[in-house]
Amino acid sequence: MVTRNKPSASQFIDELLGDGRHTFVREEARKKLKVSSWAAYLALRRLAKAGRVVMPKSGFYVIVEPQYRVVGTLPPEWFIHSLMAELNKPYYVGLLSAAQLYGAAHHQPMEFQVVVPGKSIRPIHVGNVRIRFFGKGPFEASEITDVKTPTGYEKVSTPETTAWDLVRYAKHSGGLENVITVLSELSEKLDAKKLLATAKKHDDVLTTQRLGWLLESLKEKDLAKGLADWVGKRNPPMRPLEPGSPLERSKENERWRLLINAKPVPEA
């Protein structure tokens, strides 16, 4: 009788790569290797020490191709969809990470930014990459699209939702100076009707006030007009353009019902 040798952990991940897969769970490896859970853990830990796999979540592994081992992981967009499925969380890639996909990040984002419904979850550090999560109450108001990746696809906010989120989470988007710079590059991807629909769905007047003012300061009058009309109908109280900044010498902008206490200018 011929006894077949058990496949090694190295052979297992090579087979997955041959099938175009870059993620797996430990239980799948255990069954394939026909070993105990502890033995599977030890075998995969050896591969992790060699830089061949990383584990962003307990029991969930990413296979790192040779060209990415210097940074310790694959680009997050390659595995974010599988990771979020493992976490059983709806999501979308947003803020500066989404803007980058639309060619409007200006600078390389320092972290991979992901939006989830409700409360945020703790950041995940994998290799040299930090995946940061932002909890969003009106998550269902977000418009999302599928973007192809080398391993499948990822869910990404539309340009209009990206613009809205950048202003809503301005502090985490580099501040208004960076937000207006990104908007100056993102504006060519924005549709005025879709932008107004996005604002109405979120029903956050203050964010819309700030977004509209920023767009108008960029001379994007067509994009700003519908937002201004909607803000006017809501007639909100005067509130600061930049929260937390002093209000001394700020000027009232009646059109947007804002106290202009900052003068953000896009980078050249």
Looking at residue 248, its pLDDT comes to 87
Percent of the chain with pLDDT over 90: 88
Looking at residue 1, its pLDDT comes to 42
- Residue entry with tokens 């310790």: 72
* Sequence letter at residue 22: H
pTM: 0.91
What pLDDT, in 10s, does the model give residues 201-233?
Answer: 999 999 999 999 999 999 999 999 999 999 999
Q: 5 falls in which pLDDT band (50, 70, 90)?
A: low
Looking at residue 3, its pLDDT comes to 46
pLDDT over 90 at 268, yes or no? no
Query: What is the distance between the terminal CA atoms of the chain, rounded to a whole angstrom?
Result: 74
Q: What is the mean pLDDT of residues 1-15?
A: 78
Looking at residue 7, its pLDDT comes to 82
Topology classification of domain 9-68: Arc Repressor Mutant, subunit A (1.10.10)
Cα-flanking dihedrals φ and ψ of residue 126, to 5°?
A: -140, 120
Looking at residue 107, its pLDDT comes to 74
The secondary structure of residue 256, as a DSSP letter, is T
Q: What CATH number labels 76-260?
A: 3.30.460
Q: Which helix (H) or strand (E) holds 184?
A: helix 175-186
- Asked whether 91 and 84 are in contact (CB, 8 A), the reply is yes
What pLDDT, in 10s, does the model give residues 147-187?
Answer: 999 999 999 999 999 999 999 999 999 999 999 999 999 99
User: Tokens representing 112?
Assistant: 């991979």
The domains of the chain are located at 9-68, 76-260
Cα separation of 188 and 224, whole Å?
A: 13
Q: 105 falls in which pLDDT band (50, 70, 90)?
A: confident
The secondary structure of residue 54, as a DSSP letter, is E
Looking at residue 2, its pLDDT comes to 45
Cα separation of 108 and 111, whole Å?
A: 9
Q: What is the mean pLDDT of residues 20-32?
A: 95
Q: What is the mean pLDDT of the chain?
A: 93
Looking at residue 4, its pLDDT comes to 55
Cα separation of 85 and 67, whole Å?
A: 26
Give, in order, the Cα–Cα distances in Å from 51 to each of 28, 55, 68, 77. 20, 11, 9, 19
pLDDT over 70 at 85, yes or no? yes
Looking at residue 108, its pLDDT comes to 77
Ranking 23-27, 47-51, 253-257, 263-267 by mean pLDDT, the lowest is 263-267
